[in-house]
Chains A and B, each alone.
Chain A
Amino acid sequence: MSETSFVRKEILTSQAPPLSEIGIVGWMRENLFSNWFNTLLTILSTVSVYLVLAESIPWIFQSSWTATSLNECRENIAREYGEGVHGACWAVIRERYLQMLFGFYPSELYWRPILAFVLMLAALSPILFPSLPRTLLLFSAIYPFAGYWLLWGGSIWGPTSIVAGVAVGFFGMQFVRYRVAMIGVLALSIYFFFRLSGYLQIALPLGIEPIESAKMGGFLLSVTIGTTGIVLSLPIGIILALGRTSNLLIVKAICVGFIEFIRGVPLITLLFVASTLLNLFMPPGTNFDLILRVVIMVTMFASAYMAEVIRGGLAALPRGQYEAADALGLDYWKSIRLIIMPQALKISIPGIVSTFIGLFKDTTLVSIIGLLDPLGLTTSIRADSDWNGIVWELYGFVAMVFFIFCFAMSRYSMYLERKLETGNH
């Protein structure tokens, strides 16, 4: 019997892969230099990244933080880094960052917008993260009133009585049967408490210093307009999308008309209507808050886009889902709430978040109608003869803050998509 075997019986010990295939070298070979075209692209990108950094890094760091005017900045930089060096004048940010964040809000009351912002995050968290206890949602429901009261101040009785009116109204709704009567009870209760608030304020004056809208500016303004628009546009958008896909002719016509009209008009036009045209319609002396007007227009604008995004989600659902809901004997609202919307919204998440981010960035357009949002403030700050001529530093700061907000939103949407991933495509 021969010892020779024709088939290898023992397995060769595995050897380390060649050096060119592992580690940094292997990674580079695979990802950066896999063929001549990719190699060319790699070299070009490296050169351009180098050129950008070679210009910007010294500019960012050979800077002045302490000066009180642009000329002083230039002197400081010339003294410290040598004549002819171009450096950033970050001193303008040091002097004005509070103004960029809060506008002209009185500085001794900065705690109010800060508290409102922190509470806003707290109110959003049960909505954003389902693992938190559901009772927190109660706080989220109260927050819009609390946030409004913190920002604008004034009597505490106005917002509280509306909350009380809604609460009592909901309680009273348990005792009536018809939907119309329910709405009537709710409206009556809100109205009653609203009227009551005036007397309460006289009986027991309680409140904080009122702040007029003209004092709001900077990121405070952007975040206020942005979040109000975002929070309101989603429910309105859902209703519009449902209306548009509805079989009821009039509802459908109204929704289609609204959506197409708003989408056919640029946001700037709506803002101009809000700032100038509405004023001319109203009798002289009526003071209809400009920020409120802008919030309404921005919300309408975002709602129309949101409706179309959600309609896309509705259209992407297989017909079978609708039929299955019907087959279970669910009525329209139940089938929408339990079967259709959860799936449609999940499909629409990237589109919804894109709309949110777009809306938040669109808030900078209000500078065109003279509201001092961060971009509007850059003009005002440049108009100070100390800082005239500063461009990149201010825009850089604004861009950085916007990036933080938008990037956070974008990451959250990716988290949500992963979380809701159920694999049934």
Chain B
Amino acid sequence: MKQRILLGTVAALTMSAGTVLAGTLDDVMAKGHLQCGTNTGLVGFAAPDENGVWEGFDVAYCRALAAAIFGDPMAVKFTPLTGKTRFTALASGEIDVLSRNTTWTFSRDVDLKQTFVGINYYDGQGFMAKKSLGVSSAHELGGASVCIQTGTTTELNLADFFRSNGMEYDPIPIETNAEAREQFFADACDVYTTDRSGLAATRASHEDPDSLVVLPEIVSKEPLGPLVRHGDDQWADIARWVLNALVSAEELGITAANAMEMAEGTNNPEINRLLGSEGNFGEMIGLPGDWAVHAIMARGNYEEIFEAYIGVNTPIGLVRGVNALWTDGGLIYSPPFR
């Protein structure tokens, strides 16, 4: 086999390099599974359990996408990716979709030629301090020592924030999140800064979470969402509308438990269009008519996914906040199924 792969590579290399991408959906159907890029491990968002089955907030999206295509939430294989390898893995076709808490930015969208299909979590950089430090606002942090992961946008945001507020700080550069956590708990720095979801997870892992306080200021916008390659609009549509289906399902009250029942027809035309008992949305997008039913039944609607992996009843305990539905004053919003 090894030799065959080698020969195949040599043969493939000699072929013209400018092969045009075939339809990603066709490729995925031919493979029989979805290849989803995700995190090597981020609390609540992606982690393998003791049997090696990946679960998490980002993972659940890929399960829904796989279910929409194949009717089976397990028809997806995960490629763990680091922050450095994620975009090339997507660009080279190693993965079909990247769902790895990736911030939607101008340069990633335009320059790296990715298509962000939506936002599934609005994050932002925050600060965490020990309660004993006695601060209640990030504006009181002048002169503090700050544990900070190097080489991330977090580092730049931090510098911007302190400069614009005319404060001094003492950065303590740290390589990984785990190391930062150890340093912060060991009092090597006064404040730890990273995305607020990460802060919540770190706080939850402390022996006495009440001795730590997450400061109210948010110093950056980190809209996280799944993304696909430029150049295949049909595939981007599928990825986008599966995400929208999960959000709409929450809005319309469709859950994993009642999706099958509602798919038989209700007196709400939008539910009927979404679940396929009216109209032919499945055909339009190139999927089976009950694509959304399977997507919702994979891990539930947006709310169910949120509550199962990162919500208040999990160890991370994130409140919905800006990630509530627009009807509840949040930012999560899906265009209509019409």
Contact = CB atoms under 8 A, between A and B. Distances in A.
Asked whether A and B interact, the reply is yes
Contact of A388 (B9, B21, B46, B205): B205
Interface stretch (B75-83, B135-143, B256-264): B75-83
Nearest to A395: B178
Contacts of B80: 370-372, 376, 380
Contacts of A148: 1-2
A385 B48 contact: no
Interface string A151-174: 010100010001000000000000
Interface in B180-221: 181-182, 201-202, 204-207
Interface string B62-86: 0000000000000001111110110
Interface residues of A, number: 54
B39 interface: yes
A369 B82 contact: yes
B12 A286 contact: yes
B27 A285 contact: yes
Interface string B46-61: 1111111000100000
B5 interface: yes
Contact of B85 (A99, A370, A372): A370
Contacts of A385: 43-44, 47, 201, 204, 314-316
A284 B17 CA distance: 9
A191 B296 CA distance: 51
A279 B94 contact: yes
B47 A383 contact: yes
A303 interface: no
A300 interface: no
Nearest to A68: B50
Interface string A366-383: 011111100010111111
Given A288-B5, A292-B2, A96 B50 contact: yes
Contact of A379 (B9, B13, B178, B206): B178
Interface string A389-415: 101000000000000000000000000
Contacts of B92: 276, 279-280, 282, 284
A272 interface: yes
Contacts of B9: 282, 286, 288
A104 B5 contact: no
Contacts of A152: 1
B144 interface: no
Contacts of B47: 380-381, 383-385
Contacts of A275: 85, 88
A280 B13 CA distance: 11
B128 to A, nearest CB: 14
Interface string A246-273: 0000000000000000000000000010
B43 A383 contact: yes
B205 A384 contact: no
A175 interface: no
Contacts of B78: 214
Given A276-B85, A388-B43, A281 B4 contact: no
Given A282-B12, A283-B12, A272 B84 contact: yes
Contacts of B42: 383
Q: Which of B39, B42, B85 has the most CB of A within 10 A?
A: B85
Q: Which of B13, B47, B49 has the most CB of A within 10 A?
A: B47
B269 interface: no
A367 B1 CA distance: 25
Nearest to B93: A284
Interface in A64-118: 69-71, 74, 95-96, 99, 103-104, 107
Contacts of A283: 12, 15-17, 19
B8 A372 contact: no
Q: How large is the interface on B (under 10, 10 to 19, 20 to 34, 35 or more residues)?
A: 35 or more
Contacts of A279: 88-89, 92-94
A323 interface: no
B282 interface: no
A379 B19 contact: no
A289 B12 contact: no
A219 interface: no
Contacts of B16: 283
Q: Which of B5, B77, B178, B181 has the most CB of A within 10 A?
A: B178
Nearest to A198: B4
B103 to A, nearest CB: 19
Nearest to B316: A385
B105 interface: no
Given A74-B207, A280-B91, A385-B204, A292 B5 contact: yes
B288 interface: no
B99 to A, nearest CB: 14
B3 interface: yes
A380 B5 contact: no
Interface in B75-130: 77-82, 84-85, 88-89, 91-94
A155 to B, nearest CB: 8
A283 B77 CA distance: 21
Nearest to A277: B88
Given A285-B27, A286-B8, A292-B2, A104 B85 contact: no
Contacts of B27: 285
Nearest to B30: A285
Interface of B: 1-6, 8-9, 12-13, 15-17, 19, 21-22, 27, 39-52, 56, 77-82, 84-85, 88-89, 91-94, 176, 178, 181-182, 201-202, 204-207, 314-316
Given A154-B1, A214-B77, A370-B82, 6 more contacts: A276-B85, A284-B93, A287-B94, A369-B84, A376-B40, A383-B43
Closest 8 CB pairs of A and B: A389-B205, A383-B41, A104-B52, A279-B92, A383-B47, A284-B93, A380-B41, A276-B88
